[in-house]
Amino acid sequence: MARSLILAPALGALLLAACGDNNAQTPQPPMDEAESTAPLPDQPLVGAGWSMVSSGEGVALRLEEGGELIAALACMRNPAGLRVESDRFQPVMSEDRFTVGAGDEAYALAADLEAGRERGVEASGEIPADLLDRIEAGEEIAFNYGAQNLGPFPAIPEADRAAFAAECRETAG
């Protein structure tokens, strides 16, 4: 009887091992990580360019390629604040941090996952004076949302950089 008590667990383990799947499988990334990869452009941003738009609502720098929005930075009035957006990012409901990089500095904003956007992600926060200095100085701009990255992007034309920074400073007070 003592032998059968000892052999029973060993026999059970052998049976489970024999029934197991011997095919090695490659680990798959978690669904959130797989879904959070930004679609990459098929080619470099050959036709992409920055433009500045100003209205009663604020001033914006928009990077577009073929008429499609890649990314935008805007200083909004009433209330004053910075808003960024990208149609290239896929929303991830567990991610609320959207970062703008200028040179070697990063500025964190809060993503608005309930914004009524058809596609992409937008975020907002205070207008950092240091960010405006870096934009005006011509530092490269990049965007990050979760595991998705865009940029660094081509230089913003000098006249647009200066006008954008001046209007943003006026808005920020």
And the tokens for 118? Answer: 């058809």
Identify the pLDDT of residue 113: 86
What distance in Å separates the CA atoms of residue 164 and residue 148, rounded to the nearest whole number? 26
What percent of the chain is modeled with pLDDT above 70?
Answer: 73
pTM, rounded to two decimals: 0.73
- pLDDT, residue 45, reads 60
Q: Report pLDDT for 42.
A: 39
Lowest mean pLDDT among 30-44, 66-80, 118-132: 30-44
Query: Can you read off the two tokens belonging to residue 144?
Result: 């990050």
Reported as a single tens digit per residue, the pLDDT across 12-42 is 333 333 344 444 444 434 444 444 444 444 3
Which are the contacts of 86, defined by CB distance < 8 A and separation ≥ 6? 69, 70, 71, 72, 120, 121, 143, 145, 150
DSSP state of 146: T
- Domains, the chain, ranges and CATH? 47-172 (2.60.40)
Least confident span in 3-7, 58-62, 76-80: 3-7
Q: What whole-number distance in Å separates Cα of residue 90 and Cα of residue 164?
A: 27
Beta bridge partners of 76: 58, 81
What's the DSSP call for residue 166? H
Beta carbons within 8 Å of 128's beta carbon, 6+ residues apart: 82, 107
Output the pLDDT for position 37.
43
The per-residue pLDDT of the chain, averaged, comes to 81
